[in-house]
Amino acid sequence: MAESLSITASSVDPALLALPWSTPLAEWPTSTIVFLPKGISRHLVRFASLSGRVVAIKETTEEMARREYDMLGNLHRLDAPCVERVAVIAGRTDADGQPLPAALVTAHLKFSLPYRALFTQVLRPDTATRLVDALAALLVRLHNVGFFWGDVSLSNTLFRRDAGAFAAYLVDAETGELHEAGLTAGQRAHDLDVARTNIAGEIMDLEAGGRLEGGVDALAIADGIVESYHSLWAALTDRESFGADESWRITERVQRLNALGFDIGEMSITTTDDGTRVAIQPKVVDAGHHQRRLLRLTGLDVEENQARRLLNDLDEFRARISRLGDDEEVVAHEWLTRVFEPVVMAIPYDLRAKLEPAEVYHQVLEHRWYMSQSRGGSVPLAEALGSYVDAVLRHRRDEATVMGPPTETMSLPVVTADMPVVDDEGDTVDWRDLV
C-alpha cells in the first residue's frame, strides 16, 4: 500500500502517512475520527485529527479530487472565501490490494459550522435571512473573480459568526469553473437560479423535519437571495453618469462601496465629447475594506463585520480619551492593549473554545448595550463582561475545534476583571478606568 500511495500537497505533513489510508473511510477507527457537525454531501466526508488540527477528508475519484484541489488553490490565490486545501491522496488500496477511492483533504475552518448546526432546535426567520444574505455576498465575491459555482447551496457552505451576521465560505468546489475573462450574465443567472432552488429545498426539508419555526415561508426565504445578490452586484458594478461639475460623486461612490466592505482597485472614467458629462464604473473591486484597515492598525485578522464593529469601538475610545489629534496607529495600539486584549484575556480558559475573540468582544459590547438600556444608564464594561460570561457564554456550545491552545491571543493567562494591567511604559493601570 505504501509504495502505491500518491500524495499531492503544497507542503506534505508527515502525519498524513500515519492515517489509515488502506481502510475505507467509512470504517476508520474512532481513535482517528473527530466528531463534528457536517453538512449534507453527495460524498462520504469525515473529520480527522492531523498534527494538532482538524481536517476534512472526502472520498471521490482521483480526477475530481485533483480538479477540486487545483480549484481551491486558485480561489485561495484570488483571496476568495473558501476552505484551505491540504492534499490529494491517490493510489489507495485495501489490505487485499483492491483499489479504494481517492481522497481530498482540506483544513477544517475553525469556528465555522454548517447551516444546520447554527440553530439548536428550530430555524427562525431572522437567522434564515442572515444565512441567505451571507450566501448572496459570497456568491457576489465569487462571481466578481470569475468563479462559476454550479451547485450553490447552504449545504455547500460553511458559516462563521460575524458580529450579528454571518460570513460564508465555499466548502465544495468540485462543480466550479474559473473564467479569467469573467462570467456572462447567463452564467451568473444560472448560479442564482440554482441557489434559489436549492435553498428552497433545504428550507422545506427543515420544515418537513419540524425544524422550521411556524409561519416561515421557505420560498420567500429562497427568493431573498435573488434580491440580496442583485442589490450588492449593482452596487459593485453599475455604471453611473453625472455632470462634469459633480466630481464629488466619484468620492461618494467610493465611500458607498467602502461602507459595504469593498475597496476599488481601479475605476473606468469617461467623459462626453463636449466634456459636460462624466461616467464612472468600478473595474476592480476587492472585498475586505474594514478587515484590511483593522489588520493594518492592530494586527487583528477578523471577519468584515467584526472589523467594522471593532473599528467603531476604536473610534469611540479615541474620542472618549480626547486623542482625536493623535496618530491613528498609536491610538489603535493603546486600544488593543488596554481594552480589547484585557477583555479577551478575562475569558476563563475553559470557555475560550465557545467563540473566537472578536466575536466574544462584539457580543460583550452588545450585552453591555442591552444592560445599559434596561438600567437606564451606562454600565461599566467590566460589569457587563462578568454578566456576559455567566449569563450567556457559559451556556453556549463550543464552536471551535480546538486540539491545543486555540490561538496565541486566547492562550494567554486568565485575567480577572479586577486585575491591573501594565501598559507599555511599565505603569500599572486599571483597564476599567479606560472604558
203/182 Cα distance (integer angstroms): 31
Which of 405-409's residues contact partners 24+ apart within 8 Å by CB, and which partners?
Answer: 406/352, 406/353, 407/357, 409/341, 409/344, 409/357
The CA distance from 158 to 81, in Å, is 10
Question: Considering only CA atoms, which of 135, 125, 177 is closest in space to residue 39?
Answer: 135
CA 395, chain centre distance (Å): 23
Rounded distance, CA 256 to CA 263, Å? 10
Those residues with Cβ within 8 angstroms of residue 3's Cβ, 6 or more apart along the chain or in another chain: none
Identify the pLDDT of residue 120: 66
Domains 6-108 and 113-237 agree in fold: no
Per-residue pLDDT tens for 239-249? Answer: 889 888 887 88
User: Is the CATH number of domain 113-237 3.20.20.150?
Assistant: no
| Grid cell locating 104 | 481530498
Q: Hey, what CATH topology would domain 6-108 get?
A: Phosphorylase Kinase; domain 1 (3.30.200)
Q: What pLDDT score does 178 carry?
A: 96
Most confident of 93-97, 140-144, 202-206, 261-265: 140-144
Cα angle for residues 56, 211, 306 (degrees, 5° grid) = 55
Predicted TM-score (pTM) above 0.75 = yes
Q: pLDDT for 347-404, tens place per residue?
A: 999 998 889 999 999 999 999 999 999 999 889 999 999 999 999 999 887 776 533 3
Domain parsing of the chain, residue ranges? 6-108, 113-237, 240-287, 328-434
Using CA atoms of 292, 293, 297, 301 in order, give the dihedral in degrees to the nearest 10.
Answer: -40
The Cα–Cα gap between 406 and 222 comes to: 36
Q: Which cell numbers in the block locate residue 58?
A: 472526502
Straight-line distance from the first to the last Cα atom of the chain, in angstroms, rounded to the nearest whole number: 61
How far apart, in whole angstroms, are the C-alpha atoms of residue 356 and residue 222? Answer: 29
